[in-house]
Structure 1
Amino acid sequence: MPTLILLTLSNIFMTAAWYWHLKGGPEVANARPMGWVILISWLLAGVEYCLAVPANRIGFADGWSAGQLKVAQEAIALTVFGIFMVTVLGEALSWRHAAAFACIMAAAGFMFVGK
């Protein structure tokens, strides 16, 4: 459970680091100075690393394989991004998002079968 919680928190920070500056549309995003965007994004990514590295070490110590950790992280990332995309960026979800989510969740399921 600590692994999943830390991976979720790390993905929240990484999603924010990668996409926060797009809020407001292209005109608003392009008006933000690139240097500041990069600096703020790096600060957010630093927090992400402080959460992701322990998550992976704890998960590995608990018997998760590297593949399981990566697929779980991707499944969490897609979930976090979907929520961020709708709530922060104001974009709508479509059937394509649902299909992609189903594929990632299927991959996560395959990685944990028999484990």
Structure 2
Amino acid sequence: MSFAFILLIISNCFMTLAWYGHLKFLHDAPLWQAVLFGWAIALLEYSFMIPATRLLDAQGWSLGQMKITQEVMTLMVFVPFMIYLFKQPFKLDYLWAGCCLLGCVYFVFRSQNA
């Protein structure tokens, strides 16, 4: 299971870069270049995401469990990305958002035993 999490983290790094990296690295480029930049990086993201979800599926995870776990990892990757690459200030609200996601994790995993 931990290998799947490593793949998910790598996947999220690529996807965050695909979605927002053009704002940093191609800010003045034409839109079509930003789209191609995003697509090229998203291809790498899929190369990690698909094996991760297959591993989790083979371990009996539901789609809801996989998606909520993905969202938690997205926040874990996005906040440092935003702070270090874009020099955005940290806000306590990001911590509260993370706590809300932990609540989502609790409920989606609790239901497997109910």
Tell me if both proteins adopt one fold, taking TM over 0.5 as the criterion. yes
Q: Which residue of the partner structure matches residue 77 of structure 1? A: 74
Q: Is 1:13 aligned to residue 1 of structure 2? A: no
Number of aligned positions between the proteins: 111
- 1:101 is displaced (CA, Å) by 1.2
Q: Which amino acid aligns with 2:59?
A: D
CA-based RMSD of the aligned residues comes to 1.6
Fraction of identical pairs, as percent: 37
TM-score (norm 2): 0.89
| Runs ≥4 residues deviating over 3 A | none
Q: Which amino acid aligns with 1:32?
A: A
Q: Which residue of the partner structure matches residue 58 of structure 2? A: 61
- 1:93 is displaced (CA, Å) by 1.4
- Within the candidate set 95, 107, 112, 1:110 is matched to 107
Q: Is 1:41 aligned to residue 38 of structure 2? A: yes
- 1:87 is displaced (CA, Å) by 0.8
Secondary structure of the 1:23 match is: helix
| Structure 2 unpaired stretches of 5+ | none
CA contact (8 A) 2:12 2:77 kept: yes
